Structure 1
């Protein structure tokens, strides 16, 4: 049985948040709907069980918001897969996901832990509200696709 961790009313939609990863199909679908890059189902099947912590927001039975923390669990972690269904964007659900993820970080990690993320577009404005700062020019983010 999943434990509900709060209800948020977004416009006319009540969204229930759970501290759980979405299913593989829900994950892949919301990524596409929200405009994130496509992930192969096989990759999601491998990745989701290795999640350190996740938040999923549901309206009725539909996944409408999500976010994950991945990494080694103590030294190096990353916020990823922050996504909100387009019809519910700009209503505070993204902020709620990041708030819940950062609350978990603050409660569970040692002060020496380093948490990173890739901010695309204007999303850096959201993440800055939760203590994330640009690393440039001292460091830059780099990516390698297989």
Structure 2
């Protein structure tokens, strides 16, 4: 799958770009900037290389947003690592990334995502529905607190 640049005003969306040209330490900085769990450059590069679809958004030559899919190629897919630099949030970039990735997964049986805490309204505004049958194996107390229901 080759890189397909899509221009949207001042922003360039690159679908499946040459990943050897991505500044992976800077990708990790963007994860930090949105207060997500720390990523290591070599690990996140490997994760993106294992993804069927990846989108990177640039303003001029500066990386400002990205997202990817985690999928089996046909039945199950998940959108992951949807990150927009906080300096560029509120301009429709996240919605465009989610819409483009979701469009690439048109024939899948299940397409899911895990929203960052506090982002429910963002995804609901795009038509995403909360799944009643999804479960998570928490990888620590923070994930337990942020992504699970309170048990009584």
Name the TM-score, length of structure 2 as normaliser.
0.76
Distance 1:72 1:91 in 2: 31
Structure 1 residues 104-135: Cα deviation after superposition (integer angstroms, max 9, x where no partner): 112xx24xx21121112332222224442112
Change (3 A) 1:75 1:42: same
Relative contact order higher in (CA < 8 Å, ≥ 6 apart): 1
From 138, 143, 146, the counterpart of 2:138: 143
Number of residue-to-residue matches in the alignment? 135
Listed as ranges, the matches of 1:107-126 within 5 Å are: 109-110=107-108, 113-126=109-122
The reply to whether residue 134 of structure 1 matches residue 135 of structure 2 is no
Listed as ranges, the matches of 1:67-82 within 5 Å are: 67-82=67-82
- Are 1:65 and 1:82, in contact at CA under 8 Å, matched by a contact in 2? yes
Question: Which residue matches 2:62?
Answer: 62
SS for the counterpart of 1:97 is helix
Which runs of 5 or more structure 1 residues have no equivalent in the other structure? 9-13
**How far does residue 43 in structure 1 lie from its aligned partner after superposition?**
1.4
Structure 1 residues 33-80: Cα deviation after superposition (integer angstroms, max 9, x where no partner): 222221122312321211110111101111111110112121121111
- Are 2:4 and 2:16, in contact at CA under 8 Å, matched by a contact in 1? no
Question: Which residue matches 2:4?
Answer: 3
- Are 2:77 and 2:105, in contact at CA under 8 Å, matched by a contact in 1? no
The reply to whether residue 105 of structure 1 matches residue 105 of structure 2 is yes
Question: Which residue matches 2:41?
Answer: 41
Name the TM-score, length of structure 1 as normaliser.
0.79
Distance 2:55 2:138 in 1: 25
Distance 1:127 1:102 in 2: 12
SS for the counterpart of 2:63 is strand
